[in-house]
Amino acid sequence: MNKRTIAALALILPGMVAFLFFNIYPILYSIYIAFTNAKLGNFPIQAPEAEPLSFVGLENLKWALSDPKFRSAFVWTWLFVATSVTLKVGVGILLSVLYNNKYVKGKIFYRALLIIPWALPLLFSVMVWRFMFDPVVGPINILLRDIGITNPPDWMTSVTWGFIALNIIEVWLAYPFMMTVITSALQSVPDTLIEAAIIDGASYWQRLTKVVLPIVSKPIAFATILTSAASFQYFLVPFVYNAGLFEDRFLLLYGYRKAFGSSMPHYGRAAVILLIATIVLAIYMFINMKITKLQEGAKA
């Protein structure tokens, strides 16, 4: 090894060791736990009277595949990705078009204000929305009662309405990101191109679909992939909003609850749930990256 490599190693090592020890090692250790019977009594510390910690092979995996709650969480997680990503991209495009419209006065000012949700801690935002959706004192239900709905939905304890609420929250959390990406893409469309289309007699709709969208579709695809990964990893919002209610709706939450949210924690099963979630996400991201050649942009 030459001197330069040794120096580089010495400079990289402190951060890398910490990262490997607290991030990579736990992941590898989790993979091991996923193949053991780790549960209350034998993990983390073996209690004398409990069943000893032992390797059980694919037992946990078999359990997960036949567990109705796991199946439900798996399906609902993808359902959430589908609904929330559609909404996020739709709302992002609508907002970008609205706040990029030449008829709107004071665009820069509005855009600066619209970023506010981004500047707020996630926990705070969830708390705000938890209040918004409160069945009794929350303004949303007050408004619904005002317009004559005597029995407004219970956003807190009904799974269906709660799921809708989570979609709304996710759209609100993600729109600044979507809007920023799409707006900068829209602004990169050359004015001359649009003027040319106008001269050729293209309508507003034609200009949008034939001229603008082909140019902005790549950044939108980029934003869509990243935001769909965020949707798949949705954890903190349902966790804070109502962890018990959404236990069998989100994979990460189900894994977490199996280990830390139950009176009979089963760490092996929790680890296998989280492992499956991670592998699925990795495959999903890999496929998307290959399709869109996203990593080329990131390498620059």
Partner 1 sequence: MKFKLEFPKRKDEVVKSLLATLLALFVLALLLFPVYYMAMLSVKPSGALATTEIDLIPDKITFSNYKNLLFGHIEGLIKTTDFEINTKSGIIKDSLNRYQVVLKDATITGSYSSRFTLIDTSILERKGGEDRPEKDGTQLIVRGEHIKLEAKQIESTGAVKNLKIFAKKMTITVENPKEAPIDLSKFTKVGENTYEAQNIEITLKDGGIITTGEATFSARNFAFIRLAKVGGDVPDYMKRSLLIASLTVILTLLFVIPSAYAFSRLKFFGREHVLYFYLMFTQVAGGLGIAGLVALYGMLVKLHLTNNIFVLPVIYAAGNVPYNTWLLKSYLDSIPPDFDEAALVDGAGYLQIIRHVLMPLALPGIATVVIFAFIGGWTELILANLLLNQENYPLTVWLYTLLANLRSISWNQFAAAALIFALPVFIMFLLAQNYVRSGLTMGGLKE
Per-residue contact flags (x/-) with partner 1 for residues 211 to 230, judged by CB under 8 A = -----------xx--xx-xx
Q: What is the closest distance, in whole angstroms, from the C-beta atom of residue 216 to partner 1 in the complex?
A: 15
Binding flag, residue 66, partner 1 (CB under 8 A): no
Q: Are 125 and 137 in contact (CB under 8 A)?
A: no
Q: What is the closest distance, in whole angstroms, from the C-beta atom of residue 258 to partner 1 in the complex?
A: 9
Q: What is the closest distance, in whole angstroms, from the C-beta atom of residue 163 to partner 1 in the complex?
A: 18
Binding flag, residue 254, partner 1 (CB under 8 A): no
Q: What is the closest distance, in whole angstroms, from the C-beta atom of residue 299 to partner 1 in the complex?
A: 8
Binding flag, residue 260, partner 1 (CB under 8 A): yes
Distance CA(297)–CA(295), nearest Å, equals 5
Q: Name which of 37 and 227 has its Cβ closer to partner 1.
A: 227
Q: What is the closest distance, in whole angstroms, from the C-beta atom of residue 264 to partner 1 in the complex?
A: 15
Per-residue contact flags (x/-) with partner 1 for residues 163 to 202, judged by CB under 8 A = ---------xxxxxx--xx--x------------------
List beta partners, residue 36.
Answer: 55
Q: Are 175 and 95 in contact (CB under 8 A)?
A: yes
CA 157 from centroid of its chain's CA atoms? 22
Binding residue for partner 1, selected from 40, 144, 240, 245, defined by CB under 8 A: 240
Residue count (the chain): 300
Per-residue contact flags (x/-) with partner 1 for residues 264 to 283, judged by CB under 8 A = ---x--xx--xx-xx--xx-
CA 52 from centroid of its chain's CA atoms? 37
DSSP H helices in the chain: 3-19, 25-33, 59-66, 68-98, 107-114, 116-119, 122-132, 139-146, 159-187, 191-199, 204-206, 213-232, 236-242, 251-260, 267-292, 294-299
Binding flag, residue 16, partner 1 (CB under 8 A): yes
Q: Amino acid identity of 45?
A: I
Beta-carbon count within 10 A of 56 CB: 16
Binding residue for partner 1, selected from 8, 47, 65, 75, defined by CB under 8 A: 8
Q: Which has the closest alpha carbon to 60: 51, 70, 52, 50?
A: 70
Dihedral pair phi/psi, residue 265, rounded to 5° = -60, 135
Q: Name which of 87 and 240 has its Cβ closer to partner 1.
A: 240
Distance CA(8)–CA(130), nearest Å, equals 48
Residues 81-140 that bind partner 1 (CB under 8 A): 95, 98-99, 101, 103-107, 110, 113-124, 127-132, 136-137, 139
The token duo for 95 is 């907002």
Q: Name which of 38 and 166 has its Cβ closer to partner 1.
A: 38
